Amino acid sequence: MTETLAIGPFSPPEREALTAQFGCTLLAGPGDLARLSEDARAAIRAVAYKGHHPFGAAQMDMLPGLGIVANFGVGYDAIDVAAASERGVKVTNTPDVLNDDVADIAVALLLMTGRRMVQASDWARSGNWAERGEFPLNRKVSGGKAGILGLGRIGREIADRLAAFKMDIHYWARSEKDTPGWTYHDDPVALAEAVDYLIVALVGGPDTAGMVSRQVIRALGPRGILVNISRGSVVDEEALLHALESGVLAGAGLDVFLNEPKINPRFYALDTVTVQPHQGSGTVETRAAMAKLQRDNIAAFLSGGPLLTAVN
């Protein structure tokens, strides 16, 4: 009986690799666990997990022999790590291999929103350029003040890129880092007040829920642009929508939302918002590296070796 279970929306190459290496059983989501027989569930030692549906105590208790949940993604907020630790279950994630792609998308969202690139593209495609003339002037992004909320591995990659855009770098993190020339703020509101652009690179989960609050958004102000590549949960989305609709905030570039993929349709009505379908890590190269790291963690666990990227 198979000892590895793959749960989630894995792509065909990801599924093939998992099946070839572990002969695993595939489930579309955690809701399908109940479809397995009790014997099949009892045989499972490892879960390869992908997606953003919660995987917590109830699911773990359906798999009494479970030893590891290997997550496909650096963010593991879908997995109840405390429940896993209580049951002696290890959790792993896929850090670092996606830093470049996610940072690239953050910078692109900033430029697309500040320079109104989607609207400019429509201007050319629609014939307006030929019929009505030049696209209206927009705003200079290079040389501005950028605030990074969360200076972890991805936040640093974003800051390094924006420094190359001659930006003045400010940041908030739980503790001050050794970053000569960058300005530390011990409060997200103070950070937002100091900058024109706020780029959110926090980890998701209960500790950061709503950290981009109404106050933070107000402090960023009517010239401010918010970029979020982390999790929708870190932003007070209702406050963000209200600020965008009323001009309290200039714009937003968003790769992540509450209730993905069914995002609030009010975002689509806003000309000042650039929307991406949570594709920060979505390149062939990076997804292959994430998938390999997930499999390597499972292989290490099954052979009794040290885990590569353990979370607990």
Q: What are phi and psi of 191, to 5 degrees?
A: -60, -50
Residues 233-252 within binding reach of ligand 8YV (CB under 6 A) = none
Closest distance of CB 127 from ligand 8YV, Å: 36
Taking phi over 0 as left and psi of -120 to 50 as alpha, with beta for the rest, 280 belongs to: alpha
Length of the chain: 312
With residue 19 as reference, give the H or E element that holds it: helix 12-22
- Under the criterion CB under 6 A, does residue 295 sit at the interface with ligand 8YV? no
Question: Which residue, 50 or 156, has its beta carbon nearer to ligand 8YV?
Answer: 50
The answer for 115, left when phi > 0, alpha when psi is -120 to 50, beta otherwise, is alpha
What is the β-pairing status of strands 145-149 and 46-49?
Answer: unpaired
Main-chain phi, psi angles of 154, to 5 degrees: -75, -40
Is residue 170 part of the annotated active site? The answer reads no
Single-letter amino acid code for the residue at 87: R
Task: Closer to ligand 8YV by CB, 113 or 233: give it.
Answer: 233
* The one segment of 60-68, 73-81, 186-194, 232-240 that binds ligand 8YV by CB under 6 A: 73-81
The answer to the question of residue 74 lying near ligand 8YV (CB under 6 A) is yes
Q: What angle do CA 179, 184, 185 make, to 5 degrees?
A: 165
CB 230 to ligand 8YV: min, Å: 8
Q: Whose Cβ is closer to ligand 8YV: residue 51's or residue 221's?
A: 51
Number of residues this chain uses to bind ligand 8YV (CB under 6 A): 9
In the complex, what is the shortest distance from the CB of residue 261 to ligand 8YV, in angstroms, rounded to a whole number? Answer: 11
Q: Is 116 a catalytic residue?
A: no
Q: Does 161 bind ligand 8YV (CB under 6 A)?
A: no
Quote the strand ranges of the chain, DSSP E.
4-7, 25-27, 46-49, 68-71, 90-92, 145-149, 168-172, 183-185, 197-200, 225-228, 251-254, 273-275
| CA dihedral over 199, 190, 257, 208, signed as positive or negative | positive
Return the residue nearest ligand 8YV (CB atom).
Answer: 73
**Counting Cβ atoms within 10 Å, is residue 261 exposed (0-12), middle (13-18) or buried (19+)?**
exposed
Question: Following CA atoms 79, 83, 86, 92 in sequence, which dihedral angle do they give, to the nearest 10 degrees?
Answer: 0
Residue 49 interacts with ligand 8YV (CB under 6 A)? no
Q: Is 87 a catalytic residue?
A: no
Pick the catalytic residue: 156, 278, 287, 295? 278
The one segment of 36-44, 67-75, 140-148, 243-251 that binds ligand 8YV by CB under 6 A: 67-75
Contact 41, 20 (CB under 8 A): no
Task: Determine if 216 is a binding residue for ligand 8YV (CB under 6 A).
Answer: no
Out of 185, 231, 287, 295, which one is annotated catalytic?
231
Specify the stretch interacting with ligand 8YV by CB under 6 A; choose among 41-49, 72-80, 189-197, 242-250: 72-80
Site string for ligand 8YV, 98-117 (x = CB under 6 A): x-------------------
Q: Which residue has the tokens 């320079």?
A: 115
Is residue 51 near ligand 8YV by the rule CB under 6 A?
yes
Binding ligand 8YV by CB under 6 A: which of 233, 281, 294, 309?
Answer: 281
Active site residues: 231, 260, 278
Binding residues for ligand 8YV, rule: CB under 6 A, are 50-51, 72-75, 98, 278, 281
